[in-house]
Amino acid sequence: MAKRCSTARYLGVARVPGISWMLNERGIANIAHTKSNKEIASTWKLLPEVWGLVYQLEDTDESMIHQRHRTQTQPRWFKTHYAADFWPAANFQPLNLTHKLPAVDVQQTPVRNVNVTTYYQELFGLSTPSKEYRDRMHQGVRDALSLGVPRAYIEQAIREWIYGTKEKVKYDIPNTRRTRRH
């Protein structure tokens, strides 16, 4: 996010029920409505929720993301909004400081519900990421774990898509110095 959005401010962790995370047929992270795609969710054993980090963006960064997701050309990405359970960070910080922040405690009751914005494509299919995208996702996983996204979610919803089932992965979490081997 830091490379794409210079004004991003980290706000906290959110969980969106009723959608699932996957890699689309182009090997890019995507989401699908679990309720309307029960066959996909069942076949691929997708979790019926998505966890992630929440950022506030200035209009210039949102416009850039909109262009990056090529919402005016093919393959088309669709911008959408979801109601999400939200756990705020201790204090909102510029993105480049997130590795120094304490993790949000998602074991507590969510503080409130918020609307979050995301993009999705109507491309569903099993795929594997490119090496470059895998490296980018690995950094995203590290950030998510260090800031409080549940490890169980990463293990169950994301790990197999990015790394396959047999590959060992080491997560070095900067603010806790924990290492996890799979």
Segment 63-70 shows an average pLDDT of 68
pTM of the model: 0.77
Full set of structural domains in the chain with CATH? 9-128 (3.10.490)
What value does the mean pLDDT of the chain take?
A: 76
Closest CA to 147 of 86, 98, 111, 107: 98
Stronger pLDDT, 114 or 25, i.e. the higher one: 114
Determine which of 10-14, 45-49, 52-56, 90-94 has the lowest per-residue pLDDT on average.
90-94
Residue 85 pLDDT: 95
The number of helix segments (H) and strand segments (E) in the chain equals 5, 8
Closest CA to 21 of 10, 11, 39, 33: 33
Closest CA to 149 of 58, 76, 50, 75: 50
Residue 57, Cβ neighbours under 10 Å: how many? Answer: 19
Task: Tell me the β-bridge partners of 10.
Answer: 55, 93
Q: Each residue of 4-22: pLDDT tens digit?
A: 777 888 899 999 998 888 8
Stronger pLDDT, 99 or 55, i.e. the higher one: 55
